[in-house]
Chains A and B, each alone.
Chain A
Amino acid sequence: MIFGDLINVSSTMKEVTENADAITSDFSWGDLVFVFLLIIAAYLIGLVVAHFMKIRFSHRMKDDQLALATMIVRVLIIFISLALALPGLFHLSMTLVFLLLVGCIIVIAMSSSSVVGNAAAGVGLLYEHTFSPGDFIQVGDVTGTVVAVHLLSILIRTPSGVLVRIPNNMLYSTTLSNFHAHVARRYSYDTGIRYEDDAGMAIGIIRKIIESHTFVLKNPAPEVFVSDIDPSSIRIRCRFWVPSVWANTQDDLSLRTEFILRIKEGLEAAGIEIPFPQTTVHLTEPVREETGKT
């Protein structure tokens, strides 16, 4: 079997050397024009196919995903048309063309494995539909709004205005969070009050503050409850949902500070204090004052 393959390869190599002379001798300007027209025809066919893909899938796919898919299809059409036409043009067999293509692919893959890896990851992202331009995402330590999704990388604009380029293969090797994937997001904040304060009253005040906010959703209803009893405070947790689109326009920091300030002012107006971390020490014997001299 192996011996048979070796014979095939040697015969193919022999074909290459024989065809080399034929290529140089039979090649004409007409052939060049033919190849040129072929590329133009493949390009036009690709445009038509892309147009039909846009009509057919525009309501099912996001814009960036559709753009990437149409680009891949158009490149494939050009490659296939060249692969079908070149053997006849240069008097080569399909086996030889196939071997040349495989050789080219292996050389390209070995010389630029990261590029191929990024491209493969780009196609994978297209299939997974994890995020789209405009979404607010977190990749590793980088948080921001997706500006563009390319075949090899994505561009993210951070809240501080920095444009960050992330290779696609990195997206597969790290955790990715999309804060805009669903229509609503839940926030959770904790507040501590003193032991002597009325926890029920504090819950009522916090609930009123949260419910009065325009973007806190009526349904699912906000939740406010005692979540823990710390050594120095009673912890009250509030959980509420906001529209993801609105949360996307404001970073988490501004949202958090807005609510914390309102809750602090509301509690203080009712005489409820947020305590410092403290420890109460009870002594079983009266303290004896030392009157001795040093």
Chain B
Amino acid sequence: MFGQHPGDFSYTEKDLTLLIDRSVPASRYERQCSADHIEKILAISQEAAIIISPVEPVNLPIEIAHHLELVFPRIVMQPGESMIVNLKFPVEIGVFLQTGSDTSVIDIFSLNPVKYSLYGKPVTGLITRYYESDIYHEPPKTDPHVEGVMTLTIRNRYTGAVEVSRAVFECHAMKLFYGSHVGMNATMEIISSAIAVTSFEGTPPRNCPNRGIDLYSSRKLPIIPEQGFYMESGVV
């Protein structure tokens, strides 16, 4: 389903029906996702293309979080040790209209239930998109419309052993790829027993050659490139 669709397109899955009808004089976009139904008339030229791409999973149902929190079984890491794990994360799907170099959002939907959490204290903490995952040593098989796979490299740079069971990422810097599945590469540098820095890598994961559309850049929001997100409220 992901990719560019210059002409008519329809897709039907268990809980999802997607239809792009490029008939003259008015094109039509229709989407049924579980009980949520949306229909739009598109006044677009024949040169315009519709792109379907995975987007940062922090847009639905309303934009109240900018961070993704992945919780996984505890890992005890000795000093200087590093470990590569695969985690599942929720996928949100964006439908875009591309005209020339300009990309605009038509619709965003998800087949995944949304849950939020508070990372830190109510006074100084962050609202995060919450997701629980098991740890996989090889990329697990997933439904690309529901879940993606994050390959996370965890490095313990602290002088003592550290327990890790959560990773929080700033979604402004997220770099999604798609292919046989939706994936991304990320790193987590543990600085102390309670502080870590997370960041995304620009390299595509294996079998995911296509770069997803960054929703924040398509919305033309000015984003200051950052060197990573500081998890200052604990890693457990």
Contacts and interface: CB of A to CB of B under 8 A. Distances in A.
B126 A183 contact: yes
A246 B62 contact: yes
Given A214-B61, A243-B127, A183 B118 contact: yes
B159 interface: no
Contacts of B130: 218-219
Interface residues of A, number: 16
Contacts of B64: 243, 245-246
Contacts, number: 45
Contacts of A246: 62, 64
Contacts of B65: 243
Interface string A211-251: 00011011110000000000000000000010101100100
B18 to A, nearest CB: 23
A182 interface: yes
A184 interface: yes
A125 B234 CA distance: 34
Interface string A184-198: 111000000000000
Interface string B47-69: 00000000000000110110000
B64 to A, nearest CB: 5
B117 A218 contact: yes
B118 to A, nearest CB: 5
A222 to B, nearest CB: 12
A184 B115 contact: no
Contacts of A184: 118, 122, 125, 127
Max count, chain B CB within 10 A of own CB: residue among A182, A184, A245, A249:
A184
Contact of B122 (A215, A241, A249): A241
B25 interface: no
Contacts of B119: 219
Given A243-B64, A246-B64, A183 B116 contact: no
B113 A217 contact: no
Contacts of B113: 214
A215 B116 contact: yes
A245 B62 CA distance: 10
Given A218-B116, A218-B117, A241-B118, A183 B61 contact: no
A219 B115 CA distance: 10
Nearest to B63: A245
B195 interface: no
Interface string B97-132: 000000000000000011111110011011100100
Contacts of A243: 64-65, 116, 127
Max count, chain B CB within 10 A of own CB: residue among A185, A214, A218, A245:
A218
B36 to A, nearest CB: 13
A183 B123 CA distance: 6
Nearest to A211: B115
B62 A219 contact: no
A32 B48 CA distance: 64
Contacts of A186: 122
Given A186-B122, A217-B116, A249-B62, 9 more contacts: A183-B118, A183-B123, A217-B117, A217-B127, A218-B115, A218-B117, A219-B119, A220-B122, A243-B116
5 contacts: A219-B118, A219-B119, A220-B122, A243-B127, A245-B127
Top 10 closest A-B pairs, CB basis?
Answer: A218-B117, A184-B122, A219-B117, A243-B127, A218-B130, A182-B122, A245-B64, A184-B118, A214-B114, A217-B118
